[in-house]
Amino acid sequence: MSFEKIVLLVVLAAVILGPANLPKYAQMLGSAVRRLRDYTTASKERLQAEGNEALADIDWKKLDPRQYDPRRIIADALKEDSTPASRTAIAAPVAQATSVAATERAERERNQRPAPFDSEAT
């Protein structure tokens, strides 16, 4: 929040609540903020105390998303799939899908029909 917005909120609060009630509500707001801060601090301490064993086993550096480079991941995956059996297993469905698409295209061209069009879908 910028300084101008904070000043605007203070002026609006003074107008709405009135100058006589403003100190009482400011005190209530301050105590609410203190209670919230104490609650979050206590929760954080409790989490660290109870979950310290489980959290200690996690390698946080491995889970850092900044270390992942999509190009490196793809290159590593391609290196792992360099066996002829895996290339054949991947190539067969791709070749079959390509031949089906080519057959359908040839059939449309042979019949001189336009591609199917659904007017309700657009």
Contact present, 7 and 19 (Cβ < 8 Å) = no
Are residues 78 and 99 both part of a single domain? yes
Query: What's the structural domain count of the chain?
Result: 2
Positive/negative CA dihedral, 35, 36, 42, 46 = positive
Domain region containing 22: 3-56
Q: Residue 59: its pLDDT value, please?
A: 78
pTM: 0.37
Paired tokens of 74: 């793809």
Is 52 within the bounds of a domain?
A: yes
Q: Are 93 and 99 in contact (CB under 8 A)?
A: no
**Model confidence band, residue 23 (pLDDT cutoffs 50, 70, 90):** confident
Q: What is the mean pLDDT of the chain?
A: 78
